[in-house]
Amino acid sequence: MEKKKKTRFIIIFAFIFAILIAGIIITGNLLPESPHEEISVAMKDAVLHETFKINLFGLQVNPAVISAFIVSGILIVAAIIIRIFVIPKFTIIPGKFQMLLEQGVELFANMAKENSPHCHGFIGGYIFVAGAYICIGTLFELLGLQASTTAGTSIALPAPLADINGAITMGCLTFLVIMGGGIARNGLKGLGKALKEFSLPISMSFRLFGALLSGALVTDLVYHYTLTSYVIPVFVGVIFTLLHALIQAYVLTTLASTYFGEVTEKSEKKVKVPKEKKKKIKAERA
């Protein structure tokens, strides 16, 4: 029985494999050379979004802008529904959904408290919203919603932050929040501390952009070649998207709260030591 099963399994597997190989060869030979865009062109478009634009009330915008509005819409509607129907029914001993909400809020509130113990009220809220936006925005890519471009073709909507403009917005806004916190808490000293990290908006923006884009690029790359375009892109795309959604949300929120904590920290006043005392101390040390 065992041997029979084994041979049956091998025969079926070999049959499927042969059909797939035959299909690949036949489709390659039979189909005329499709106006398939070259990989370099596809990559360039994925990065720059120069070719495909979408009309938004007369404005020609990148697909990521539409994605951003849809993600925000989903989040806002969900938040309003939760606010009206769920939060008023909160109980002291939480249910599953209440627990999920509380954990989400506490995760960011505690992160803000740990990284910025002096001032964590506002930054907690900011990193909560930013984290939710990055995470849900990245996962949104998995839905593969289609939108029609100005050229008349359809395009799958990307993650909002896979567009350089979205990433720059997020990075610069986070830097502005950090700088604002520094000024509000420490005045000019806070501003100075924030400006010391002048590379922060650039690094944040491009980290986000690069990380989110890399997943899309690798998936595109895998999908572009016939041999690797079966099954593999599904796993690659999903895994990259999931990982980036979690990792980038965590990285940006941690960085934002840490820098916010550094900038809002009250600096201790240095006690002026008289010159004579300094000389004495030096002499003693010598």
Partner 1 sequence: MTGVPLNIDFQQILLHLLNFAILFFVLYLALYKPVKNFIDKRKAGYQELDDQTKENLDKANALKEEYESKLQEADSEAADIKNKAMDEANAMAKTRTDEAKAEAELILEKARKQAEEEKDRIVAEAGDQIEELAKEAAKKAIFDSTSDAFDSFLDSAEEK
- Per CB under 8 A, residues contacting partner 1 are 47-50, 56, 59, 61-62, 65, 68-69, 72, 75-76, 79-80, 82-83, 87, 90, 92, 101-102, 105-106, 109, 124-126, 128-129, 132-133, 160, 163-166, 168-170, 172-173
Q: How far is the CB of 131 from partner 1 (least distance, A)?
A: 10
Structure tokens belonging to residue 228: 């690797």
Asked if 157 and 66 touch (Cβ cutoff 8 Å), the reply is: yes
Query: In this complex, which beta carbon is closest to partner 1, that of residue 149 or of residue 238?
Result: 149
Q: Which of 211, 269, 266 is nearest to 240 (CA)?
A: 211
User: Which of 75/238 has CB closer to partner 1?
Assistant: 75
Q: Do residues 149 and 155 lie in contact, with contact meaning Cβ atoms separated by under 8 Å?
A: yes
Half-sphere exposure of 124 (CA within 13 A, CB side): 17
Cα–Cα distance between 246 and 52 in angstroms, integer?
A: 28
At residue 273, the 3 state secondary structure works out as: coil
Nearer of residues 105 and 281 to partner 1, judged by Cβ: 105
Give the nearest distance from C-beta 102 to partner 1 in angstroms. Answer: 6
Please, which residue, 125 or 233, has the CB nearer to partner 1? 125
Q: Which is nearer to partner 1, 86 or 156 (CB)?
A: 86
Shorter beta-carbon distance to partner 1: residue 109 or 222: 109
Q: Whole-angstrom Cα distance, residue 192 to residue 190?
A: 5
- Interatomic CA distance for residues 209 and 151, integer angstroms: 25
Question: Least Å distance between CB 64 and partner 1?
Answer: 8
Q: How far is the CB of 152 from partner 1 (least distance, A)?
A: 20
Q: What is the DSSP letter of 51?
A: S
Q: How far is the CB of 119 from partner 1 (least distance, A)?
A: 15
Report in angstroms how near the CB of residue 182 gets to partner 1 at its nearest: 19
Token code pair at residue 279 = 């000389």
State in angstroms the smallest separation of the CB of 97 from partner 1.
11
**Residues 123 and 181 sit within 8 Å (Cβ to Cβ):** yes
Strand 54-56, strand 59-61: pairing: antiparallel
Of 25 and 81, the one with the shorter C-beta distance to partner 1 is: 81
Cα separation values, 34 from 103, 190, 215, Å? 51, 59, 26
Q: How far is CA 131 from CA 110, 198, 240, 248, 249, in A?
A: 14, 23, 17, 8, 5
